[in-house]
Amino acid sequence: MSDPDVIVVGGGPAGSCAAIVAARAGLSVVLLERGPFPGSKNMYGGVVYPRILDDLIPNWWEEAPIQRWVTRRATMLLTETQALTVDFRTEAWGKAPYNGATAYRPDFDAWLAGYAEAAGAQVLTSTTVTGLLRDDKGAVVGVTTDRPDGDLRARVVIACDGVNSFLAKEAGLYEHTDAKHFTLGVKETLALPKEVIDERFGVRGREGVDIEIVGCTGGINGGGFVYTNLDTVAVGVVLKLTKLAAQATRPEQIIANLKGHPAIAPLIEGGEMKEYSAHLIPEAGLRMMPKMTTDGMMVAGDAAALCLAAGIWLEGVNFAMASGMYAGETAVEAVRVNDVSAKGLVGYQRRLSNTFVLKDHRKLRRAPELVLSDRVQHLYPQMMANIAERMFRVDNPEPKPGLRRILRQERKRAGVRRRHLWRDAFTGFRSYG
């Protein structure tokens, strides 16, 4: 068989979108997936925001294998005994064109890969890419796989090989890899009858809930999440690798502690463990991003560290789909003008820069660090929860204290310095404002 125009490595959201775009434009595309089917190696923190698919798959919401539409979004600060929740719900997110959805990645990714196949891409599963083929000038001209007779050449390689991206590393696109840029996500999927989930989370039909949690990971910087699928509830934690490695509590114990918290335990009581899973997250945003192109190759999705971990926004699949689409468009352009060098692929960086993909990351470049900072992680949740407790406590016959006094006292009690609070508020305002 003849060599394809484009090789896409990895059948996740980035790879499938790249393959859809390139194949629909008439290029011959081979998509290589190391799992037995696309999505079989993939796991995440639960919510996908698929609006980026509007052009690629019109009315995607009628077909996408989603579990529930997120109509209730909560952010929760936990201490050992307290919980302070900001809980938002809207009917608008429960109807087209929707906002966020919970979905199982083995379902969602396999569904998306089906579109790549329908567009004419050849999807080859159970095939692990082991390295790059390069010409004598160092340009990428193909990949090696773990199959006999397994070299495959193409004009362009789009590496969507996930968070560990050995291809981007082999191509020299990452200056270095540092454990401090990663978090580990671990998750339990717990089965409960749909009616029980509906009742406990106050939703009905296809409505769903996503709760993001700070202050539930002990001494380890990170966060937690609880979200609803149709008949399962997922509960998990995200842990900063370097902190996890430097202490003694294992990940499953940290989940167990979260599950035992008085604010969480009633939500998941009686849930039967269906699946335990783990995956790395490229958490550091702009600080860790590689060069996006080299001669003959582009990087997209988690492989390019395109994951937004900014506390109130936790997104990845949408960044993967968008970057995959833009890489696909760029490949089409480059093959047409017959220049697949880094110069010919420059449109990829331009597309990323001019869209939310890099705009969001630039705007929020300080957010990941702020969210994982010791103060946000360990001091502020306690302070905020204590303030709330004082505000809502009726101390008769004591008269009510003024709010300013509560704030000052609780700030001191939590050991938060005023100038740190101001500095973090300023950083937060610059990032999110």
Partner 1 sequence: MSNRIVVCLKWVLQAGEPDDARFAGVSPADHAALELALQWAERTGGQLTAITVGPPQAETALRDAIACGASNAVRIDAPLSTNSADVAAAIASAAHDAKWVWCGDYSMDNGSGSVPAFLAAALSASQALGVTNVTFDDSGITATRRVDGGRREVLAVHAPVVISVEGATARLRRASLTALRASTTAPVDVVVPIVAMRTSQHTIQPYRPRARALAMPSGANVLDRVRSLTTTGTAVATHHEVETLAPAAAAARIVDALRDWGYL
Partner 2 sequence: MTAMNFMETMETAEFRVHPDAHIVVDGSVCTDCTTRECVVACPANLFVPTADGGVLFNYEQCFECGTCYLVCTQAGAITWNYPAGGHGVVFHRT
148 binds, among partner 1, partner 2, none (CB under 5 to 8 A by kind): partner 1
Helix (H, G, I), strand (E, B) or coil at 392: helix
CA distance readout (Å), 420 to 1, 73, 355, 373, 380 = 63, 29, 33, 12, 11
Choose which of 120, 150, 219, 428 interacts with partner 1 (CB under 8 A).
Answer: 150
Q: Which of 165, 110, 111, 122 is nearest to 19 (CA)?
A: 122
Decide if 243 contacts 219 (C-beta within 8 A): yes
Report d(CA 17, CA 320) in Å as an integer.
8
30 binds partner 1 (CB under 8 A): yes
310 binds partner 1 (CB under 8 A): no
Query: How many of the chain's residues bind partner 2 (CB under 8 A)?
Result: 57
Nearest approach in angstroms of CB 359 to partner 2 is 28
Choose which of 28, 79, 82, 232 interacts with partner 2 (CB under 8 A).
Answer: 232
Type of residue at 362: R
Report d(CA 387, CA 120) in Å as an integer.
59
Query: How many of the chain's residues bind partner 1 (CB under 8 A)?
Result: 18
Does an H or E element contain 16, and which? helix 13-24
Does an H or E element contain 105, and which? helix 105-118
278 binds partner 2 (CB under 8 A): yes
233 binds partner 1 (CB under 8 A): no
Nearest approach in angstroms of CB 26 to partner 2 is 28
189 binds, among partner 1, partner 2, none (CB under 5 to 8 A by kind): partner 2
Report d(CA 95, CA 231) in Å as an integer.
20
86 binds, among partner 2, partner 1, none (CB under 5 to 8 A by kind): none
Choose which of 11, 13, 38, 39 interacts with partner 2 (CB under 8 A).
Answer: 39
Chain residues 179-208 in contact with partner 2, contact rule CB under 8 A: 179, 182, 184, 186-189
Q: Where are the alpha helices (DSSP H) in 314-417?
A: 317-336, 346-354, 356-363, 367-371, 374, 380-392, 403-413
In the structure, how many helices (H) and strands (E) does the chain have?
A: 15, 20
- Chain residues binding partner 2 by CB under 8 A are 34-36, 39-44, 104-106, 125-128, 130, 145-147, 163-164, 177, 179, 182, 184, 186-189, 229, 232, 241-242, 244-252, 259, 268-280
Q: Which residues contribute to the site for partner 1 (CB under 8 A)?
A: 1, 30, 36-37, 40, 106, 110, 122, 124, 127, 145-152
